[in-house]
Amino acid sequence: MQLYSISDQKQFEDKIAQTMENMMKKMHSKNHSNNPDLYFLELMIPHHEAALEMAKLILIYGKDPLVRQLAEEIIASQTTEIESMKKRLELLKKNVNQEEMPFPALKGLRGN
């Protein structure tokens, strides 16, 4: 496996730390809902967005092919999940009947 330069390692660590800090700010800066479903989605969206950012950083700095493959899979799956969570959050905030609206990212192993 290739060695990492100290400069690359420092840049990666700084960017990961900034991503984590941004995620925590987003998660704690809102007045969250008293509804557990809304609150869960309000927290999970920035959590997944941070995972996307970290995965993108691995594609820039990472060298191990299996870790890079995992990062690509995370980007693909979590992008879909974020879109679905945002749509669901919007519908729940509008009080749309939960039974009538699908949650497409959660079909199969996670849902209907």
Give me the chain's average pLDDT, please: 85
Angle formed at CA 76 by CA 32 and CA 27, multiple of 5 degrees:
15
Quick: pLDDT tens for 72-109.
999 999 999 999 999 999 988 888 665 655 665 555 44
Q: Give the count of beta carbons closer than 10 Å to the beta carbon of residue 88.
A: 21
- Average pLDDT over every residue of 64-75: 96
Predicted local confidence at residue 112, as pLDDT: 42
pLDDT over 70, % of the chain: 81
Mean pLDDT of 63-78: 96
pTM assigned to the model: 0.77
Q: Mapped to the 3 state alphabet, what secondary structure does 22-88 carry?
A: HHHHHHHHCCCCCCHHHHHHHHHHHHHHHHHHHHHHHHHHCCCHHHHHHHHHHHHHHHHHHHHHHHH
Cα 98 to Cα 65: distance, rounded to the nearest angstrom: 41
Q: Are 44 and 103 in contact (CB under 8 A)?
A: no
Q: CA nearest 85: which of 56, 61, 105? A: 105
Predicted confidence band of residue 5 (pLDDT cuts 50, 70, 90): confident
